[in-house]
Structures are given as C-alpha cells and as structure tokens.
Chain A
Amino acid sequence: MRKVSMKLVMLTGFLGSGKTSILLDLMRGLTSDGEHRFVILENEVGEIGIDGPFLEAEGLRVRELFSGCICCQLAADLVTTLHEIQDVLDPDGVFLEASGMARPKNILETLGRYCKVVDEVMVLTVVDAARYDTLIEAGIPLINLQIEPAQVVVINKIDLVSKEDTSKLTAQVARMNSTADIYQVSTLKGTDLNPLLERVRTLWT
C-alpha cells in the first residue's frame, strides 16, 4: 500500500519575483541540521530548464518539468512525477516551484483530486515589491490570483522600495488574503529571512 506522508510547499509568484532565490534560502536553512530530506520539483514554461541546474549547482536534488505550466498543460505530468518521487526517493517533503504563469488554485485542484501521496500543502506566494504596481497597472489579474490561496505571502525585494511602499503593499496583500502570514524580505540582502524559515519549518514539526 502506498505511504501517504509527503508534505508539499508550493512556491508561486509572478515571473521574476524571486521564487528560486527564496527556495534556495529555505533549502539552506531547512537542510542544515541534516534531519529532513527534500526534493525540489521545478516547473518552467520555457523549453529549457534554467532553475534546475541553478539549484543542482547548490547540491540540491531537483526534478524538472518544463516546456509548459503545471496548472494546465503539464497537470498530468505533475501527478506522475510526484508519485514517482514518493516511490523512488521517499522524501520528507517536496518543494514545488510553479512557473511564474501558474494559477495555484488549479494546481491545488489537481493535487486534491489525483495526488494521494501528498497529505499537506502549504502555498507560499512570492510578491515582487518593486514590480507589483507595474504589474497591476498592466492589468495582469494573475498577480492577485496567486496571492488569494496562499497560507504564506512573501513580499520580496523590499530593498528596492521605501518602507512606506512596503507597508502599503503589505496592507494591500492583507486585504486580499486576511488569513495569510505575510513576510517582508530581501533575498538579495539576506534580510529578515529567519521568521519565514521558521514558519515553513512548522510543516515538519
């Protein structure tokens, strides 16, 4: 009988928001004690994977799904790959980095219906503080669709905006998703990452 014990952190967020950088920081923190084994599943819409080699260069175990988005074209591949990861690698957790164009609700539906090897999902959405207004002004509704289902929202690149703008964006995110825990970080400067790390760690405690 198939074991059902895998926890999954789904990283979402628009193109270029810093998902891979945050993932790398989380992995460094979570694997430092050697207690847990994680697998990263990378999804990119481009025909050639870039983030996979980037993370592998840091010594992490990575599987890739590219040339399409897992919220639509590659939904079946996502399910197959997660079952394979559970069967072959049996990790404590999977970090799924969705493409920047993914709709997390669609992925949650796929996981809920077809993927019985995952017993808990945390949706972590990364918001680009420097580009949020531009993206909203450009009329990309996906930005808000990525925030709404998140348990954790990470406002990244706060080093590029003023404190006032960060506070304004935080309040805006809180209005969109009142239940999410919101963190303000700069992966470039390495600031304020520990509270986020501890929040993600709660999935394994």
Chain B
Amino acid sequence: MDLEDFTVVARRVEPLSVTGLSPREALEYFLADFVAGLMDEGCIMIGHIKGMLSSEDNHLFFSVTTQDDGPGLHGGPLDADEQLSLTINVIVAGVEEEKIDRLFEGSLKRFFSLPGGG
C-alpha cells in the first residue's frame, strides 16, 4: 500500500441540529454508521477520521483510527437545542471520494437534522 492509495476528504456542514439524542450521542452514532459504511464499501485502512462538532461557544472533537474501538472524544459539552456545525477530515484507503461523500451524507441525515428537512 502506498500513500497515494489514501483518499483525503474534508467537509464542513452547517447548520445542523439533533432531535431525541444528545449531540454527543448523535455524533457517536453517526461515526459508527459512517465507519461501518466505509468498511462495507471496501475500506482497506482508516488513516484517520477526525473533526469537530461545534456550537457557537464550544467544540466536541473526535478521532477515529479503527472500526473496533469507539471514537476518541474530547471537549464539549454541547446543548441539544443549539445550532451545530460538523467539520470532518477523512483519510482512508480503498474508498473513492464519491462513495465517501455519499456515505457521509447518508449517515449525517440519519442522526442529524439538516435545513430543508434532510
């Protein structure tokens, strides 16, 4: 495997909100779903998936390097009634950018509310 085999994708989505879950729970479910999707699509290796879920005043940082362990989380807390933004850097091997985007959007919609009813 070479470094050229890794796909690097960065995305920032805002505004986001959560319903029925805490922002931390929504983030954990989102990451588990997204990573499972990547593995199903043939991800050979997670280089690093990291980012932050942010409110106006606070950040909850996350880091994922394997599917087996949950994400490393640091920071927060975030209130469920705050408007949020999600920033993510994805570096993985074996999955193309288009697929990463599709999986990201799908997982995001499952656990967060986006403007326009997404």
Contacts and interface: CB of A to CB of B under 8 A. Distances in A.
Looking at chain B's contact residues, the main secondary structure is strand
B12 to A, nearest CB: 6
Contact of A45 (B1, B45, B72, B91): B91
A165 to B, nearest CB: 16
B89 A48 contact: yes
Interface in B75-118: 75, 87, 89-91
A63 to B, nearest CB: 18
A50 interface: yes
Nearest to B93: A138
B61 A45 contact: no
Contact of A15 (B12, B48, B61, B75): B48
Interface residues on A, range: 20 to 34
B49 to A, nearest CB: 8
Contact of B8 (A45, A128, A134, A142): A45
A50 B64 CA distance: 13
Contact of A46 (B2, B65, B89): B89
B37 interface: no
B17 to A, nearest CB: 21
A46 B91 contact: yes
B63 interface: yes
A131 B74 CA distance: 21
